[in-house]
């Protein structure tokens, strides 16, 4: 495997004005106002470096990968595999063989549920998730549990939105075949103690899949230090393009798993009698992959590393504290998700105002927030609310943008007061 060139050394503090220059979309206006983009938990904006990498791929190297002997196919393959090496380094996996490109985190989870869990599940076995999961980390397990006659168990969360660790441990039984849990809640912002979760599960011989869709762009993720068996992420939240997802899997586990999808590229040989599978990670990448997506994602993780995840984390934590204090000071506003360890998510409700109305009014001020159940209906039920408004932060957000949100919420209060 080729070596990854180290990105430039990260600066210790983050120059947010300089960073904003790298994101062309932040220059546009919405409803006549400068765009204030606070819907990062849904998808992040893309830096110029990512847009350039995609354009360069199509204008200079477009060819299919892993098959041609011609020059372009060779350099397209190099670029695609180079992106894999960058992603491997980003998550500090041991080998490129452990990084599978998928369509998104959802597909990665389905891959683990179908190719890893399904053959192992017997009637009466259990899959353990938590009460703060996104639908994408619930439904794939329901499907596989239903088919195998297994049971989906759910570890509860408390009123702050924190995992109740004792209850989680009690739900780890001799029937538990896998734990599937989020690293960070998209609806509440809670950051789970993944290392402790993995330790508790491994002590009982239970493998753990971590959903890193939200965490991976807010904090450094080291899959070896977390000791996770599987870790999934999605490109479009990592400042990269849509349509590209990541599955990290421990090599021994991936090796033992049957393929997920069949087709070209994932085979070693095919006859009508039988086919044999390609080596890792290609066994799990059937068909022509999303080459531009992988290359864009490679450029995105390069960009994140050039800014530095520690600096990003510090900047976002500072903004989170600022936004939390601001929202708490607004009349009638209540934060949903107040765990001691959380990141970048300000989920809130407002007295006598439905989140949908909040969303429409602040949108007229050029402010993009998410309103609704955030694909986490069980979380909403847990807090007995139909929906929340959610402002979610990324590296390019500023205090001034949170002030703009505060002013817009005052306007909401005036309309409905």
Write out the catalytic residue numbers.
375
- Site residues for another protein, window 391-410 (CB under 8 A)? none
Is residue 11 within the footprint of another protein (CB under 8 A)?
Answer: no
Cα torsion angle, 376, 378, 383, 385, sign:
positive
Site string for another protein, 333-362 (x = CB under 8 A): -------------------xxxxxx--xx-
Q: Candidates 119, 122, 386, 407: give the one binding another protein (CB under 8 A).
A: 386
Phi, psi for residue 3 in degrees, rounded to 5: -80, 150
Closest-CA residue to 284 (of 84, 1, 3): 84
Is residue 62 within the footprint of another protein (CB under 8 A)?
Answer: no
d(CA 120, CA 126): 11
Provide, rounded to whole angstroms, the least separation between the CB of residue 32 and another protein.
7
DSSP character at residue 2:
P
Provide, rounded to whole angstroms, the least separation between the CB of residue 310 and another protein.
37
Q: Candidates 46, 237, 373, 382: give the one binding another protein (CB under 8 A).
A: 373
Is residue 224 within the footprint of another protein (CB under 8 A)?
Answer: no
Q: Candidates 364, 399, 400, 407: give the one binding another protein (CB under 8 A).
A: 364
Cβ atoms of 211 and 181 within 8 Å: the answer is yes
Which residue carries 């909040």 as its tokens?
358
Q: What is residue 127's three-state secondary structure?
A: strand
Q: Candidates 372, 383, 398, 403: give the one binding another protein (CB under 8 A).
A: 372
Is residue 234 within the footprint of another protein (CB under 8 A)?
Answer: no
Phi, psi for residue 175 in degrees, rounded to 5: -95, -10
Provide, rounded to whole angstroms, the least separation between the CB of residue 377 and another protein.
8
d(CA 355, CA 338): 18
Is residue 240 within the footprint of another protein (CB under 8 A)?
Answer: no
Give how far Cα 81 sits from Cα of 76, 97, 107, 282, Å.
Answer: 9, 11, 20, 11
- Site residues for another protein, window 173-192 (CB under 8 A)? none
Q: Which residues in this chain contact another protein in the complex, by CB under 8 A?
A: 31-32, 352-357, 360-361, 364, 371-373, 377, 380, 386-387, 415-416
């Amino acid at each position: 495997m080729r070596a990854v060139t180290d990105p430039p050394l990260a600066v210790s503090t983050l120059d947010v004005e300089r960073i904003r220059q790298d994101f062309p979309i932040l220059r546009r206006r919405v409803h006549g106002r400068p765009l204030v983009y606070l819907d990062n938990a849904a998808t992040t904006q893309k830096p110029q470096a990512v847009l350039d990498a995609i354009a360069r791929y199509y204008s200079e190297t477009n060819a299919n990968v892993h098959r041609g002997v011609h020059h372009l196919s060779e350099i397209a393959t190099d670029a695609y595999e180079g992106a894999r090496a960058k992603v491997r380094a980003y998550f500090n996996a041991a080998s490129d063989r452990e990084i599978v490109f998928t369509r998104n985190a959802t597909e990665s989870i389905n891959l683990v549920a179908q190719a890893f869990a399904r053959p192992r599940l017997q009637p009466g076995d259990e899959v353990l998730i938590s009460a703060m999961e996104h639908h994408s980390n619930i439904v794939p397990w329901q499907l596989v549990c239903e088919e195998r006659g297994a049971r989906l168990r759910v570890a509860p969360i408390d009123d702050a939105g924190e995992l109740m660790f004792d209850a989680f441990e009690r739900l780890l039984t001799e029937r538990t075949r896998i734990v599937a849990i989020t690293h960070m809640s998209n609806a509440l912002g809670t950051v789970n103690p993944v290392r402790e979760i993995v330790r508790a599960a491994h002590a009982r011989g239970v493998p753990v899949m971590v959903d890193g869709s939200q965490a991976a762009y807010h904090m450094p993720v080291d899959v070896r230090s977390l000791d996770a068996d599987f870790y999934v992420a999605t490109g479009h939240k990592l400042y990269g393009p849509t349509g590209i997802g990541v599955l990290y899997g421990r090599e021994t586990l991936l090796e033992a798993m049957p393929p997920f999808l069949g087709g070209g590229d994932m085979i070693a040989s095919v006859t009508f009698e039988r086919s044999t599978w390609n080596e890792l990670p290609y066994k799990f990448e059937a068909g022509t992959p999303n080459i531009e997506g992988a290359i864009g994602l490679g450029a995105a993780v390069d960009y994140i590393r050039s800014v530095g995840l520690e600096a990003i984390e510090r900047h976002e934590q500072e903004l989170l504290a600022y936004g939390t204090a601001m929202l708490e000071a607004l009349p009638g506003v209540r934060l949903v998700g107040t765990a001691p360890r959380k990141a970048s998510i300000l989920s809130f409700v407002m007295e006598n105002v439905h989140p949908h109305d909040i969303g429409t009014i602040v949108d007229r001020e050029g402010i993009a927030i998410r309103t609704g159940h955030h694909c986490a209906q069980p979380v909403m039920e847990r807090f007995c609310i139909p929906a929340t408004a959610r402002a979610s932060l990324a590296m390019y957000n500023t205090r001034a943008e949170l002030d703009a949100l505060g002013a817009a919420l005052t306007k909401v209060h005036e309309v409905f007061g």
